[in-house]
Structure 1
Amino acid sequence: MSDTTFANFQEFDTLLRQRREELQAKIDPQTHRSTSADELVLTTPETVDDEAANADVQNDTDLAQLSLELAELVDIDAALGRIKAGTYGTCTACDEAIPLARLRAMPSAHFCIGCQSKSEQRQGFPHNTSL
């Protein structure tokens, strides 16, 4: 954590914990849903196909969102672990300092911009040089 100060360390710890609480509040109700009698709706044969298709799309969207939120939660927990270990702010790939501007934009970042770009290229993400 070469270019971060103790105040920044505290700032990032607070930001990460707040975001973790926000995500946990969103995730918990989604993972503990139950179908109650109040949620059941009578349908006619004409509406079944449309409603089923809409329900499938909504369910897929909900699952995709939940997956993103769970991945972010994992990243936050890893960042909090790095704070505790004293390695926060250091790229986990090259051991170089992650710039404060990047940490402020993404407090859970574990790669510097260069290593993040390389990781995305390996995963098949297009590299957009026009930005």
Structure 2
Amino acid sequence: MNTKKHFQLLPYSFITWLIFYIIGLPDYYQQWYFWAKIVVCVFVTLIYFPITQYTLKKYWTDGKHLVNSCWLALYLTLPLFVYDYLLLAVYKGLGIGFVIPYWYLTFFYFSFWIQFPLVGWWMQRTKTQSVEASAR
């Protein structure tokens, strides 16, 4: 991946974090009912299937969907963890233990590493199958 793509993904990750943070105000979803957090986790997981597919098509044209999906997972987990860490662990003084009460954030640090590569693998597989079918 070239340097330009890295610099495009950094603001993408920050804007993603900022949107989720603003929606969760005033206490970053802590004031929400447990069932509402579950609904949001399911909703975000489902909505990120088409968003991931769109992003993989928009940002990359090389057809390496699986590899690119791993880059996307990296940029939507590591920077978001860093932003959360700075806000919750450092600024609010919760330390790394914030991952327990803010479990819904922690969920996405891991789930995106399953979900995004799955979407990338599916896209790459579908593309390979269509190329093979047209070659017959």
TM-score bracket, normalised by the shorter chain, equals 0.3 to 0.5
Q: Looking at secondary structure, tell me which structure has more helix per residue.
A: 2
TM-score by length of 2: 0.33
Between structure 1 and structure 2, the one with the greater Rg is 1
TM-score by length of 1: 0.34
